[in-house]
Structure 1
């Protein structure tokens, strides 16, 4: 598990961006392959045999290190959850210090883990996995997803409550769901508002333009759904 240390009121930087220290190369390979396959396919369409074949390891080795498929899925999410926990912590600190006073500021904080993931070799697969599985009701999927994204969702909800005090819980929940759908689907490569956020693009101007459109899309949706 990635651990952050807080010094005074400063928000610590999560330094564990991919795998737990001490993991073997085979364990990392199993997680990378699992991450990619869970991002490409529905949960039920991924088997441990598929993962073992692509990772060039035995089923026995996967069972030894990670256990059953649902436990492996949870391990994949735990490898990346600290980035979302970090963003949630930053949002809570900004709220507590009175520094989060607009939708623009909230969206900027929300985008930080997305930006970090897009800069990571396996980050695009994390975003694809989140876009594909975040609505799952199966406890084997929804439970780990809730743990991985729960603090992030909660922090966004608290911020929206502060920005829109007249809105009720259902409306705030809608605002959170709308923003997460836009973030994950857009960042994972889904076409949105006429432009892709090309995760393989080396053009900084294209990436900035896509990011700006994403922010405007979220802010416009909140304005229509929460300000009206």
Structure 2
């Protein structure tokens, strides 16, 4: 992605992407050395959970519909892709730093899509987007409790970092670092947005009964 013209023409964005790659590569190298010296065998378990890919499909549909009426969403797509790659790598490395098995699935998709429905940092500040994602996955891994006999994360990995960063932006008066105002004002450019959101949410309601809803 650092070779794209839009990245090459923005040195701050290039540095954010290159810096994220450098950090992940260094972490990966250190982890491999540590695993080799300690005799650990790092493994990947593939588990495709329905709630993850259904949620991702719903959120992706909202992004596509929104983007049809505000083209900036489509222009942002490659940076959503960058966040997805970062999320998978960060989550995997953090998990392997604590235990041997990583569960690979669609989990990062709804987290990243959810974050990008609410907050984008402008290209000059894009490293903050990576920090936002990192905070969400760190909280998911590190802040946990026993629920029905198993360890589970307490905070939603998208809403928790969004809350923290939003409060920080409001307190410091630096919402200009983000596309927050534009996101809030353009998400209802598409006609009948509430109806679309309701219809998109029906599969999740059918399979999981997330919450009671009325027409």
TM-score scaled by length of structure 2: 0.29
Bigger RCO (CA 8 Å, 6+ sep):
2
What is the TM-score normalised by the length of structure 1? Answer: 0.28
